[in-house]
Structure 1
Amino acid sequence: MSRKFRHIAISGVVALAVMSCGAGRTEISPTRVDGASTIDPSPQSLKWGACEGVPSSAGFQCATLKVPLDYAKPSGETVGIALVRRPATDKKNRIGSLVFNFGGPGGSGVSTLFDAAGAFSTLNKRYDLVSFDPRGVDRSSGIRCLNSAELERYLAREPSSDTVEETHLLTQFAKACEQNAGHILPYVGTLNAARDLEVMRAALGDERLNYLGFSYGTHLGALYATQFPKHTGRMVLDSALDPSVGMLDTARTQIKGFQKAYENYLTACVKQPHGCPLGKTTAAANAAVLKLIDGLQAHPAKSGDREVTATVARTAVAQALYSQMAWPLLTEALEQGMKGNMAGLLALADQYGGRQPDGTYSTLQMSLPAILCADTTERPNVEEAEKVARELKDRSPIFAITAASSAICSVWPVPGENTNRHIDASGANPIVVVGVTHDPATPYEWAPRLTQQLRSAVLVTLKGEGHGAYGQNNPCVDNAVNSYLLEGKVPPKGLICG
């Protein structure tokens, strides 16, 4: 769907929602790229040292992995992949490394592991926790198209329901990316990231890659298992993405998913014992939220010296729907917004946008479209994307407009390719796929689809709300994942956790 539904926080584990591309499921030819022939099999030596800005007492170590910018030219220019690890605490029973990708695409795995390592203390006993910034992200030659002020203005206005304005916004953004980051844009696709994982595995000294991927990280992990099945170890893919689903169909599915999550949020709000400050009924609460957003559409507000638009408010609502734990924050932000205080809505939108306390931004919102457009040949235009938005406006007046962002690849300066969208992982060890029944960002229907494509996979289902299952304080899911990663015990087929 649109880029607007990507960033996410999973119960203390910051993850980033996915997205893929296109209009409907795409049949991909089963041609496997011979990644092994373009990868130097001799492992490089990693120089682990202190992490910039992080006290040594936190227990983290950082290093840089060198990989070819272009795997077709393995002896040519290289790019540095920033790594972070927290060594296993039970060294006597150490299994090896567990590599994480927390999603995006475009999320910083280094920053996320700094913040979220404590959530994985059980796994950290026997694994070195390892994460990284994928190529084109933050510390790994991060893509920066706009400066902070320009990006803030862009995020406050895009997407637009006006075709001319939306075309202008996307075109100018794409031109800025070409001008400021054009050198790396052709090489940031998921196929190259999977190859980077293989170089990383060898450098870490592991015979097989043990991996835990969330959201977009499920696509990366599935593609690695397809390209390097014999080197795939214990792999868990949480909040599964189906890479064969097209861009416009993804937009439709996600808009419906967010609308359902929003309705569930309103229902929970009005059922609170002390009542819902937005309204006594779901209809009344919804009307109050729509009135707030419509008012901002007509007359943007201010929070300090920053503008708060209807787009900012929509982004704030979407951000909070990724996790049920954020629903109280959303209620407070909306209640205050109705009284003229937009600080809470702005804070939620900033979390989505990757804005830092000093006013700068991570590369998330710039890396994300670059990776998405590298990963598909589909190029739906603005008219096609806004047609989807109009189709869904009555059903989902808050989120329908986000479909317009699906047109970004139509103006992107480099072509994409479809190899990354073929998944089979034939010959790989068992893979555990996890899906949540009411996940708005990666709808549950994608989890069984990915499980089927992976051949050797088993599906674990969590009946619940939000994006992400592991770490949501559900013992059934956590035990299943921990038992597999730590002991190699494959969950029973069709396991359902309530």
Structure 2
Amino acid sequence: MRRVLAVVTFSVLATSCTSTAEPQAVAPPEKINWGACTDIVRPDGQPPAKEDATQQCGKLSVPLDYAKPDGDKLDIAMIRVPATDKANRIGSLLFNFGGPGGSGVDTLAQAAKSFGTLSARYDLVSFDPRGVERSSGVRCGDSAEMDTFTSMNTLPANAETTAASQKANKKFASLCEQDSGKILPFVGTVSAARDMDRMRASLGDAQLNYLGMSYGTLLGGVYATLFPKNVGRMVLDAPLDPTVTFEQRTLVQTAGFQKAYESFLKACVKEGCEIGGSVEAGNKNVDRLMTELSEKPIKVGDRDLTQGLASTGVAAALYSELTWPFLETAVSQAMKGEGEALMYLADSYTGRTPDGKYTTQMTSFPAITCVDSAERPDAATLDRTEAAALKISPLFGSAGAGQLCSIWPVAGSDEARHVDATGSGPILVVGGKGDPATPYEWAPKLTEQLKTATLVTYTGEGHGAYLSGSQCVKGIVDGYLLQGTVPQKNATCER
């Protein structure tokens, strides 16, 4: 189960940058003082048994507001795994694993061995972006209030559940303003991209070598737009289209999750499925389970597995084919009244640790998403979007972050919705045909917008291609990052 959780948390949901004003001249970045990593969180939520001597942690001070460089500062938490082949070291390779809201410090600490072919010649580096975890992470209430918020039912979709959702969102937004009001206006992707350029300079690299996944592709695209001449070798895996509206994003992602869910059921039936003997039977059984949970949750210790948490658990496991067998087990057990496994998957998605505390995963996500867009959907748009999404998928159809953004306490900006890396070196975009969270249609669109990018298509399932197990994708990406080899146009990798 720990291995499953590590896979799920690797693939954080992606959504949509903000700038308060034209940035002023900023003093050169300070030196990063590297030391031991003492507060890494393992996939099971427990602290590491001992410090890993190969990992180094540090902090970089940056302006809270780049329009006021001499004003308040915040510290960006960073982690580094030094290259093992010093003689052939290329430089640093900076990672963002997704979100927005995922901790790069914890994720790289857990996953560094997954990048073994790159770790010889690169210092592997990641960070908690502003507003995330150790970097002035956004908080919205205590653990009990987060439990209430994450367990809200979404089905049946009627006036009662809609009213309850609106009430919960208003309270959540109010708590975010109360607990994190100072940081909220400054957590946008444009500022985070400026932070990355200061990291590059502090690391001593003339250009930024970067591997961004999911939301990390937006962050990389914005960086390449702001600093095209500073772009080294950049890979954007599971890309977003920054131009999509809230409504478009909701409907495309709902369709993506529904497609992945149907693929899961087909694969399950093919192998002999505990959920049902056919796709139709399996789907009916899951629908029945959700209906039952909306009326009577399953007790899991002192908690309730609600329909809302169960749906979250199902969605979490659809991010990777590796978790599909565990999803089958979790759902079949829940059908028998045992909710531990499905609750486990839900907690992996919401960032709830075994001690009942939460990471900033669920709070950083809306904070960054809402500041990254000037859109504030009105009630008619929300209702229309919800209705259309539910037609696509009763299980996953929801207006999502749009409901929160419509009442968010700070304004947003559309600055990063128009990326253009003209003047940069070649960028590699990798899109997956079976990606539920960042559907494939966004990959060619981002490639076109960047102007300097080459698209690689992966035909397999799951969110993100580089860590999917495809040797073809790995070979192309490693060849580019290590040798600078740009693949031919329209390169395709089978699953």
Q: Does 1:398 align with 2:391?
A: no
Q: Aligned equivalents of 2:266 and 2:81: distance in 1?
A: 41
Q: Is 1:177 matched with 2:163?
A: no
Deviation at 1:142, TM superposition (A): 0.5
Structure 1 residue identity aligned to 2:393? S
Q: Which amino acid aligns with 1:335?
A: S
Q: Distance in 2 between matches of 1:38 and 1:278?
A: 60
Aligned partner of 1:265 in structure 2 is: 264
Q: Partner of 1:320 in structure 2?
A: 317
1:98 alignment partner, one of 93, 98, 101: 93
Question: Aligned AA for 2:87?
Answer: K
Structure 1 counterpart of 2:463, one-letter code: H
Query: Are 1:334 and 1:345, in contact at CA under 8 Å, matched by a contact in 2?
Result: yes
1:409 Cα offset (Å): 0.7
**1:13 and 1:408, CA in 2 relative to 1: closer, same or farther beyond 3 A?**
closer
- Residue of structure 1 in register with 2:232 after alignment: 233
1:52 equivalent in structure 2 = 38
Aligned residue number for residue 286 of structure 2 = 289
Whether the aligned pair in 2 keeps the contact of 1:10 and 1:472 (CA below 8 Å) is no
For the residue of structure 1 that corresponds to 2:233, the secondary structure is strand
Per the alignment, in what secondary structure is the counterpart of residue 150 of structure 1? helix
Partner of 1:421: 417
- What's the offset of the Cα at 1:249? 1.0
C-alpha separation in 1, matches of 2:8 and 2:163: 40
Which of 421, 427, 430 does residue 431 from structure 1 map onto?
427
**Aligned-partner Cα distance in 1 for 2:460–2:69:** 45
**Highest relative contact order (Cα 8 Å, sep 6+), 1 or 2?**
1
CA offset at residue 11 of structure 1? 5.2
Query: Aligned equivalents of 2:269 and 2:111: distance in 1?
Result: 32
Match of 1:218 in 2: 217
**Residue type of the alignment partner of 1:494:** N
Distance in 2 between residues matched to 1:9 and 1:222, nearest whole Å: 29
Deviation for aligned residue 1:247: 1.0
Is residue 332 of structure 1 aligned with residue 332 of structure 2? no
Give the percent of matched residue pairs that are identical in Structure 1 and Structure 2.
51
Partner residue of 1:70? 65
Contact 2:251 2:388 in 1 (8 A): no
Q: Distance in 2 between matches of 1:406 and 1:163?
A: 13
Equivalent position SS for 2:210? strand
Q: Deviations over 1:224-243 (max 9, x none)?
A: 00000011100000000011
Could you tell me how far apart the structure 2 residues matched to 1:57 and 1:395 are? 46
Rounded to whole Å, the distance in 1 between the matches of 2:375 and 2:29 is 36
Q: Which moved more, 1:406-415 or 1:159-168?
A: 159-168
5+ residue gaps, structure 2:
40-47
Q: 2:144 aligns with which of 135, 146, 149?
A: 149
Counterpart of 2:408? 412
> Which secondary structure state, in structure 1, belongs to the residue aligned with residue 299 of structure 2?
strand
Match of 1:476 in 2: 472
**TM-score using structure 2 length:** 0.93
**Aligned partners of 1:473 and 1:393: how far apart in 2?**
33
1:159, 1:73 → 2: CA distance?
Answer: 42
In 2, Cα distance between equivalents of 1:215 and 1:383: 29
Partner of 2:44: none
Retained in 2: the 8 A contact 1:463–1:496? yes
Deviations 1:28-61 (A, max 9, x none): 9xx9x865x5433x24211000111453444100
Which amino acid in 2 is paired with 1:240?
A: P
Deviations, residues 452-471 of structure 1 (Å, cap 9, x unaligned): 00101000000010100002
Q: 2:130 aligns with which of 120, 129, 135?
A: 135
The amino acid that maps onto 1:478 is: K
Aligned partner letter, 1:330: L
Alignment match, 2:199: 200
2:353 is the counterpart of 1:353:
no
Aligned equivalents of 2:188, 2:482: Cα separation in 1: 31
